[in-house]
Amino acid sequence: MASCYYEWAARSHQHSAPLAGVVKEYTQHEWDAAVAEDCREIVRLAVREDLERLFDWTTLALVPPGTEGAAAIVVRQPGVVCGLRAAEVALSEMDAALQLSDPRIDGDVVEPGTRVGIVKGPARSLLAAERILLNLMGRLSGVASLTRQYVEAVAGTSAQVYDTRKTTPGFRLMEKYAVRCGGGRNHRTGLYDAILIKDNHLALAAEIEGVGHLTPAEAVRRARDFVDAKATSQQTAQMIVEVEVDSLDQLAEVLPEQPDVVLLDNMSPDMLREAVALRDRLAGQVQLEASGRVNLETVASLAASGVERISVGALTHSAPALDVGLDWL
C-alpha cells in the first residue's frame, strides 16, 4: 500500500493548528516502490486480458521460436512523454529477456517522430507486449501532456495546477505521477490522507443532528477538534484540513477557523478576486483553491485572481491518449 506522508515547510511543527508562514502540502508522487507496485498489478491484469494464460496464436503461427527482434518506441504527436518507467515494468512482466535501451526521461517534451527508447529481445515476447506497453505509455503521456498545457496557461501567476481523485480506477498513483511529469501538483491521494469537508458532508451531518444546516465554519472547528484528539501519530498530527465553500459569506465565516485550504467552488474570476482580498485581510496564511468549470479557456483568468491552487479534474478524466507507436528496426 502506498505510504502516506506530508511535506512540511517547517518539520518541527507538532500541532494541527496552522502557523503563519507554514504551508502544508499533499503528498507529491514521484516514481517509487508504491507506484511501481501499482503498475505491476495493472500490467498483470493487462497481460491476462490479452493472453488469458494462453498464447499469442498469430505470433506463434508466423514467428519461429528463438527469433530476436528490436523495435523503437516512437511518439507521433507533440507532447510530454511519460510511462517509460512503466514500460520497463511491462517488459519485465512479459519476459525478463526483453530490454529497454536508450530511454528518454519521463517528463521530456518531445516532437512528432521522437524516438524515446528501443526494445530488444525475443521477438515473440516483444510482439505480445506491444499493445500493453503502448496503452500504458499513451495513457500516461496523454495525462502529462494535457497537464503541461494547463501549467503553461497559468505561467506567470501565483497559481499552481492540481489534479483530483477523478482518476481511472487502479491507475491513481500512476496518473498522479504523470501529472507530476507534466509539471502539475498532486491533490490528496485518497480519502485516507486528508480532511476535505464538502457540501454533502454538511448536509448529512445536519440531517443526522436534526438541525437546519451545519456551517462550514462549525465543520472546520469539529475537524480540528477531531484531529487534535486523534493526533497519536505524525500523520494525523499533520493532517490537512480543507473545506469547500460556494459563497463569499461562507468564506468570511470560515477564515477565522484557519483551515489549511479553502476550496472555492464554481466562483467566477471576479468572485475569486474578492475572495483573495478577503483572505488577505482575515487569514493570510490560508491557501485558496479554485475548482469547478475549469478548462483551458478559463484557467488563465482564474489564475489571475491570485488564488494559490487550481484543481482540474480534466487532467485525468479527460486527457486524450498521446499517439505512441512501435516501429520495428
The CATH number of whichever domain residue 172 belongs to comes to: 3.20.20.70
Weakest-pLDDT range from 50-54, 79-83, 176-180, 231-235: 231-235
For 150, residues 6+ apart whose C-beta sits below 8 A from its C-beta are: 161, 184, 296, 299, 312, 315
- What confidence score (pLDDT) does residue 227 get? 85
Q: Say how far apart CA 158 and CA 245 lie, in whole Å.
A: 21
Q: Is the pLDDT of residue 19 over 60?
A: no
As a whole number, mean pLDDT of residues 234-242 equals 78
Predicted local confidence at residue 90, as pLDDT: 96
239: confidence class by pLDDT, cuts 50, 70, 90: confident
Three cell numbers, residue 267:
466562483
pLDDT for 14 beyond 50? no
Q: Clarify whether residues 196 and 305 are in a common domain.
A: yes
Residue 63 lies in a domain: yes
Catalytic residue positions, numbered: 131, 166, 198, 244, 265
Is 9 part of a structural domain of the chain? no
Residues 77, 202, single domain; the answer is: no
* 250, 222: one domain: yes
- Whether 236 is in a domain gets the answer yes
Tell the burial category of 1 from Cβ atoms under 10 Å away from its Cβ (0-12, 13-18, 19+).
exposed
CA distance 37 to 40: 5
Highest mean pLDDT among 45-49, 51-55, 198-202, 303-307: 303-307
pLDDT in tens, 292-317: 989 999 999 999 999 999 999 999 99
Residue 236 has what pLDDT?
Answer: 65
The reply to whether 308 and 173 lie within a common domain is yes
On the question of pLDDT at 141 being above 60, the answer is yes
pLDDT at 181 over 90: yes
pLDDT grade for 95, boundaries at 50, 70 and 90: very high
Question: Which DSSP state fits 192?
Answer: T
Say yes or no: 192 and 260 in one domain.
yes
1 falls within a domain:
no
Do residues 303 and 222 both lie within one domain?
A: yes
Task: State the pLDDT at residue 21.
Answer: 55
Residues 281 and 168 in one domain: yes
The mean pLDDT value for 7-32 works out to 57
Same-domain pairing of 163 and 288: yes
* Residue 194 belongs to some domain of the structure: yes
Among 133-147, 194-208, 309-323, name the one with the lowest average pLDDT.
194-208
Low-confidence winner among 14-18, 54-58, 149-153, 194-198 (lowest mean pLDDT) = 14-18
Range of the domain at 184: 153-317
**3-state DSSP call for residue 293?**
coil
Q: Which residues pair with 245 in a beta bridge?
A: 264
Q: By C-alpha distance, which of 281, 274, 279, 238 is closest to 262?
A: 279
For residues 116 and 182, state if they share a domain: no
Same domain, yes or no: 185 and 141: no
Q: Are residues 128 and 252 in the same domain?
A: no
Q: Say if 289 falls within a structural domain.
A: yes
What distance in Å separates the CA atoms of residue 132 and residue 289, rounded to the nearest whole number? 37
Beta bridge partners of 265: 291
Question: Residue 269's closest CA among 253, 293, 243?
Answer: 293
Percent of the chain with pLDDT over 70: 89
> Does 15 reside within a domain?
no
pLDDT of residue 53: 79
Q: How many domains are there within the chain?
A: 2
pLDDT at 6 exceeding the cut of 80: no
The answer, yes or no, to whether residue 261 has pLDDT greater than 70, is: yes
- Are residues 129 and 205 part of one domain? no
The pLDDT of residue 231 is above 60:
yes
> Residue 85 belongs to a domain with what CATH number?
3.90.1170.20
Statement: residue 205 has pLDDT above 80: no
Q: Determine the distance from the C-alpha atom of residue 246 to the mean position of all C-alpha atoms in its chain, rounded to a whole number.
A: 24
- Indicate whether 120 belongs to any domain: yes
